[in-house]
Amino acid sequence: MASAIEIGRNGEQAAVGLLKQHGYRIHFCNWRHKQLEVDIIAQDGPVLVFVEVKSRTGYAYGMPYEFVDALKQARLVRAANHYIALHHYGGEIRFDVVSILYTDKQGNYQARLIKDAFWPD
């Protein structure tokens, strides 16, 4: 079985492929500012999208997207605010989630794109 790091890396690669299929232009993968990170920053038409990717090998404890809790959302919003300030961005933004559920040991998976997954308070 793959390690958690490998599962996460593979999930992010799968998410990039899914986003490209939906017409997104990828700007950054694993963008960091100090201790904050955004898995994927992409463009969907005129909208700048901050994407959280969650990968799991089973759903016994819930679906992958259910692990994007309030704390993770707050960290993603803080990271997005830093990105926006650093790049002087003034347009529309959105927060999406890509949920990757591995279905077998061969690496097959189900991917789900959730647009407008949450909004900051």
pLDDT digits (tens, 9 = 90+) for 16-57: 999 999 999 999 999 999 999 999 999 999 999 999 999 888
Residue 77 lies in a domain: yes
In three-state secondary structure terms, 69 is coil
Q: How many domains does the chain have?
A: 1
104 occurs within a structural domain: yes
pLDDT > 90 fraction of the chain, expressed in percent and rounded: 69
Does residue 39 fall inside a structural domain?
yes
Q: What percent of the chain has pLDDT over 70?
A: 98
Assign residue 74 the CATH number of its domain. Answer: 3.40.1350.10
Mean pLDDT of the residues in the chain: 91
Per-residue b/e over 6-21, b at no fewer than 16 CB within 10 Å? ebbebbbebbbebbee
Instruction: Establish if 121 belongs to a structural domain.
Output: no
Give the number of C-alpha atoms closer than 13 A to the C-alpha of residue 58, restricted to the C-beta side: 4
Confidence band, pLDDT 50/70/90 cuts, at residue 5: confident
